[in-house]
Amino acid sequence: NAGVTQTPKFQVLKTGQSMTLQCAQDMNHNSMYWYRQDPGMGLRLIYYSASEGTTDKGEVPNGYNVSRLNKREFSLRLESAAPSQTSVYFCASRSEIGQGIYGYTFGSGTRLTVV
C-alpha cells in the first residue's frame, strides 16, 4: 500500500533469536500502530504511537518492544522470539482516506515464523 512500507516481508527465526520489524510512512502522520493477525483472531493491537516519541501498549504487548524515534518510523522488536509469536504483523498509520475522513493505511505485512 502506498505510503506505509514494512520490511521484511517474510522472516523465519529460531526460538530465542531477536529481530526488529521496520515500518516507515511518508505521509507525515502522527499516529502509527502495530497489529498481529492470527487465524480466527482478527487483528490485535500490540502497540501504538500517538506521536513522535510516545508509545503505548495495546491488547497484546507481552514479548514486544517498540520505538518511535521520529515521525516517519515505528519499529517493533522481538527480543527473544517464541513460537507463539508466529503470526502476520501489520503496521498502520492514521491517514486521510477521504475528504476530511481519517482511517488507517496498512503496510503489506510481515509473515513471521518462529521455529
Please, are residues 16 and 78 in contact by the beta-carbon 8 Å criterion? no
Q: Out of 24, 76, 92, 114, which residue is the one contacting other proteins (CB under 8 A)?
A: 92
Q: Scanning residues 30 to 59, which ones bind other proteins (CB under 8 A)?
A: 31, 33, 35, 40-45, 48, 50, 56, 58
- Taking residue 13's Cβ as centre, other Cβ atoms within 10 Å add up to 19
Write each residue from 67 to 86 as x if it is in contact with other proteins (CB under 8 A), else as -, in one continuous string: --------------------
* Phi and psi based region of residue 100 (left: phi greater than 0; alpha: psi -120 to 50; beta: remaining): left
Plot region of 28 (φ>0 → left; ψ -120 to 50 → alpha; else → beta): left
Per rule CB under 8 A, is residue 19 in the interface with other proteins? no
Residues contributing to the site for other proteins (CB under 8 A): 1, 31, 33, 35, 40-45, 48, 50, 56, 58, 88, 90, 92, 94, 97-98, 101-106, 108-109
